[in-house]
Chains A and B, each alone.
Chain A
Amino acid sequence: MSDVLDRSGASYTTAPPVVFHVRQLTKTYVMGEVEVQALRSVDLDLYEGEFVVLLGPSGSGKSTLLNIIGGLDGPSSGQVFFRNRDLTAADDSVLTRFRRESVGFVFQFYNLIPSLTAQENVALVTDIALHPMPPREALGLVDLSDRLDHFPAQLSGGEQQRVAIARAIAKRPEVLLCDEPTGALDFQTGKLVLETLERVNRELGTTTAVITHNASIAAMSDRVIHMHSGEIASVHRNLTKVSPAELEW
């Protein structure tokens, strides 16, 4: 079961160091006359080594938040600090280094390079990472050792998703940001992927944020963040973490 903390989760008493420190973050998309408020004054801290699950209805701003935290997009206003470094004030080369050295992404739409095989898609990231694992090993972790030389178009949706996850963890990143990593996966494979994420989180201390529509995944997290209409509706601290193997879908 989980306890309700205050909205930012900042009052956590024996808090480990903060990795991401988000202040008054807003994001407005302007499309002609229509304005979409994807994020409205979001405040949030993510702590080193924790495993956070983001829940919320479609269009509530989850991907937008994750993209901004990961340096893929800029906010309309507000600030994001990554370990005391103000990402919102950083220039492109700083953001590039940040993404290259510190972040592993899993995109909602996988975004594999169609002209590269599974293994090569992973290599694309390990080629420039500081302490990567071999691409084969990363693919082994998501149980794709027999699909190394398949192109994305020759893989099923779930397999593509697992390549995307292998690509994200292969660089042994400091933080792992996953946008619906199990959306296309069956129960068994989903569990496998979650186990991988959990192991990376546990063994390497990787701060991990996972967006999902599957509320039961919340049970394996340290904290659960609910979003609604561009705002953080609530943050729950999960006191009885279960292992992925014990999850019920």
Chain B
Amino acid sequence: MIALDKKLFRDLLHMRGQAIAIILIVACGIASLVTMMSAYESLQLSQATYYDRYRFAEVFVQLERAPDSLADRIAEIPGVRQVQTRVVVDVNLDVPNLEEPATGRLVSIPEVRSPILNDLYIRQGRYIEPGRPDEVLVSEAFALANKLELGDTLGAVINQRWENLRIVGIVLSPEYVYEIRGTELVPDNKRFGVIWMERDALGVAFDRDGAFNDVTLSLAPGASEAEVIFQLDQLLERYGGLGAYGRDDQVSNRFVSDEIMGLAAMAVLIPSIFLGIAAFLLNLLLARLVSTQRDQIAVLKAFGYDNLTVGLHYLKLVLMITLVGAGIGTTLGLWLGAAMTQYYTNFFHFPVLRYEAGVGLISTAVSVSIGSATLGAFTAVRRAISLPPAEAMRPEPPAQYRPTFIERAGLQRYFSPSGRIILRNLERRPVQAALSLLGIALAVAILVTGRYFEDAANHIIDVQFRHVQREDVTLVFNQPRSARVRYELTHLPGVLQSEPFRVVAARLRFEHRAHLGGITGLEPTGTLRRLLDKKLQTVVLPPDGVVLSSKLADILGVSVGDILTVEVLEGERPTRTVPVVGLVDELVGLSAYMDIHALNRLMREGQTVSGAYLAIDAKYTDQLYTQLKQTPAVTSVALRQTMIDQFQETIAASMGGFNAVLVVFACIIAFGVVYNAARIALSERSRELATLRIIGFSQNEIAFILLGEQAILTLAAIPIGFGFGFGLAALTSHAYSWELYRLPLIVTRASYAFAFVVIVIAALGSGWIIQRHLKHLDLIAVLKTRE
């Protein structure tokens, strides 16, 4: 077989340009899957490991106030393993070098370090020391955002007085992987931070001496979470319990898990599409590559090589190309996957990062590629060996002459001879033309899909923060206030407009489904916060009933006209029923809205507000901040611009890295496809082109014939590819619908333009290379060798 192996080696060398292009396509397909899946799996593993080692609690509840003695009764609930009672309060902070007011969440910890639930990982410094009530630990995210260091002090309003807290440690907690105030969608690490301090100091300061207002607990193996929650709620009913919930509804975990799930959607869906397309292209390319050797296969057969040997010969060719591609793809994927996992620690604060790539995953990706490549090669080999050698040795018979569409329509005089050759070729070899078209269209589709995420994210930001949320600042009071506060707000410096809102913590129930969240009461005539439908038309808030975001309606299984049960978790804790009167297609979060007056009526309270949306004059921002900092009644100040920035950063966190990699891969695949289509056309037609040269066509004329054909195919493929791309985006949008946000089906003109430009550049680049090949077309070789 030595001579046959030499042929293999020489053939590979000869078609190295094409082989490299194919290798790149396989490599990109495999690398995208391996990168995404390994990063995703590693993040999931890191999360699970972290939760496990640092004893992340399983049930959480906030309450008004309960005596420490109640802890024993909680521990007696069947299924409870470990209980931890705490004091947790939000206070105003004065952070060095920060203009705006910030909120600190003070969380109590034991004076002496012990194996508590939600244990802290000390990144820097040390644990607090007994007898030093001013020592605190701060979260790493907050410390980084504000450039806080060990030994720095923070001002905090404690017991109506500014106190100085000294930072002795910078820590991570499994409870705050995603450090977010409950009321917001995205973290704002500059203006919100978690601070751990000694239990007694905190208890005394906030009137919780010998008492607690927060419980977390872990469950015994096999215990029913729902049952424990039920018992716990009953026990805490008279202590102002705000409703216990499991990890699923714990804010940080919910967001981190959603993000990781979001990554999973991207990690599985898009790379699968990429790998699928790469595999398909591989099939196509190898089939055509082998077809160009049809006469050589016939010679081998004529000399008595059996089908198996011929088949193995081409299998080796396919394996060499595919395995090199798979090797590069896997190596690249592992490397990028590790880098990407590392990159995600900027957003997910895990103390331990574990990187792992499943063997199953890699072998799946590799076998998919090899399988489709082999299949492609074998269809071609089978076609070649099914012919009698005498027939296969002859060049493929020239297609029968038939007037083309152009000639039938009598348009031929508008075309030059070269133009007519192009058109005839396209018409006479419809299968080859269609395959080239399909390949290029898929490359276009990949490019469009790669860009889709950015389009969708930008659309969310535009809708949510420019059409829905139009306030500059959102204030939240430390407790519900009388509506009269509105007039005080308008007198704050720079406030142009203020609209109060009411937020009531509640559990919404329909049949057996429930959602723990809140109802937001808005002024129906308000302009700072608007409810919009899909077409961005304002939805008027009816005077009664509740309007839900469609996603929440989905989760609860309700539609307009159904009656929701609302279990209010504050004040008198009434349980009421409210009809669902409308749905809004918000892309972000899960919300339930009511007319603020209706909500006040539901609560049987006078005109009461929880906070206000403000429009402010930018000139007075600083003064406003200074004033708000000194207002203990205001516990939270959220700035829209910051939210936009944070949201962008969050989306960047969950998708940016992936997306950048995908777009690069998409470009490489697109180049590979376009180049290969042109190269195959060249090798299929080099004899004919050389003959044309010999009978007197100029170099430019034959270049025009070959490249003109490619140009027509490319241009025709682009709109088809746009269609495919849109379809893939629709698929992705459908798969990517989470509580945190939903991806709308938006593909911008810019993305289409991007795909267009990349393909055109790829086509021009390939054309240039082909043109150089044409220049060196060996006319003499054509004369001397016969097919």
Given A96-B301, A120-B6; 8 other pairs, CB 8 A cutoff: A72-B302, A74-B388, A99-B301, A109-B393, A121-B3, A127-B1, A129-B304, A153-B780
The reply to whether B786 and A111 contact each other, CB–CB distance below 8 Å, is: yes
CA distance A67 to B392 in the complex (A): 12
The reply to whether B2 and A127 contact each other, CB–CB distance below 8 Å, is: yes
Main secondary structure of the interface of B (DSSP, over half): helix
The reply to whether B784 and A115 contact each other, CB–CB distance below 8 Å, is: no
Which of chain A's residues have a CB closer than 8 A to the CB of B295?
111
Residue of B nearest to A68 (CB): B390
Which of chain B's residues have a CB closer than 8 A to the CB of A125?
303-304
Q: Is B97 an interface residue (CB 8 A)?
A: no
Which of chain A's residues have a CB closer than 8 A to the CB of B84?
none
CA distance A107 to B296 in the complex (A): 13
State whether A92 and B307 are in contact (beta carbons under 8 Å apart), knowing that A72-B389, A120-B6, A153-B781 are contacts in the complex: yes
Which of chain A's residues have a CB closer than 8 A to the CB of B429?
none
Which of chain B's residues have a CB closer than 8 A to the CB of A121?
3
Residue of B nearest to A168 (CB): B303
State whether A115 and B786 are in contact (beta carbons under 8 Å apart), knowing that A100-B303, A123-B2 are contacts in the complex: no
State whether A109 and B306 are in contact (beta carbons under 8 Å apart), knowing that A115-B7, A123-B2 are contacts in the complex: no
**CB-contacts of A3-58 with B (<8 A):** 31-32
Task: Offer 27 A-B interface pairs, CB within 8 angstroms, sorted by A.
Answer: A31-B400, A72-B388, A72-B390, A73-B391, A74-B388, A99-B301, A99-B302, A99-B304, A100-B305, A105-B303, A111-B302, A111-B393, A113-B7, A113-B296, A120-B6, A121-B3, A124-B4, A127-B1, A127-B3, A128-B304, A128-B305, A152-B784, A153-B785, A156-B784, A157-B784, A160-B784, A167-B303
Q: How many residues of A contact B (CB 8 A)?
A: 42
State whether A100 and B787 are in contact (beta carbons under 8 Å apart), knowing that A115-B10, A120-B6 are contacts in the complex: no
Which of chain B's residues have a CB closer than 8 A to the CB of A155?
784
Residue of B nearest to A114 (CB): B785
Which of chain A's residues have a CB closer than 8 A to the CB of B784?
152-153, 155-157, 160
Which of chain A's residues have a CB closer than 8 A to the CB of B780?
153
The reply to whether B778 and A32 contact each other, CB–CB distance below 8 Å, is: no
Which of chain B's residues have a CB closer than 8 A to the CB of A114?
785
Which of chain A's residues have a CB closer than 8 A to the CB of B14?
115
CB distance from A170 to the nearest CB of B (A): 10
CB distance from A105 to the nearest CB of B (A): 6
Residue of B nearest to A112 (CB): B785
Q: Is B407 an interface residue (CB 8 A)?
A: no
- Binary contact track B377-402/A, C-beta < 8 Å → 1, others 0: 00000000000111101000100100
**CB-contacts of B285-303 with A (<8 A):** 295-296, 298-303
Partner of A113, one of B299, B306, B390: B299
The 5 A-B residue pairs with the shortest CB-CB distance, nearest first, are A100-B304, A109-B786, A73-B390, A115-B10, A72-B390
Which of chain A's residues have a CB closer than 8 A to the CB of B10?
115-116
- Binary contact track A197-239/B, C-beta < 8 Å → 1, others 0: 0000000000000000000000000000000000000000000
CB distance from A82 to the nearest CB of B (A): 14
The reply to whether A32 and B400 contact each other, CB–CB distance below 8 Å, is: yes
Residue of B nearest to A63 (CB): B390
Q: Is A93 an interface residue (CB 8 A)?
A: yes
Which of chain A's residues have a CB closer than 8 A to the CB of B781?
153
Q: Is B688 an interface residue (CB 8 A)?
A: no
CA distance A31 to B780 in the complex (A): 32
Which of chain A's residues have a CB closer than 8 A to the CB of B397?
31
Which of chain B's residues have a CB closer than 8 A to the CB of A73?
388-391
The reply to whether B11 and A111 contact each other, CB–CB distance below 8 Å, is: no
- Binary contact track A164-200/B, C-beta < 8 Å → 1, others 0: 0001000000000000000000000000000000000
Q: Is A101 an interface residue (CB 8 A)?
A: yes
The reply to whether B299 and A111 contact each other, CB–CB distance below 8 Å, is: yes
- Binary contact track B742-779/A, C-beta < 8 Å → 1, others 0: 00000000000000000000000000000000000010
State whether A96 and B785 are in contact (beta carbons under 8 Å apart), knowing that A32-B400, A113-B7, A123-B2 are contacts in the complex: no
The reply to whether A96 and B306 contact each other, CB–CB distance below 8 Å, is: yes
Which of chain A's residues have a CB closer than 8 A to the CB of B299?
111, 113
Which of chain A's residues have a CB closer than 8 A to the CB of B6?
115-116, 120
State whether A99 and B778 are in contact (beta carbons under 8 Å apart), knowing that A123-B3, A160-B785 are contacts in the complex: no
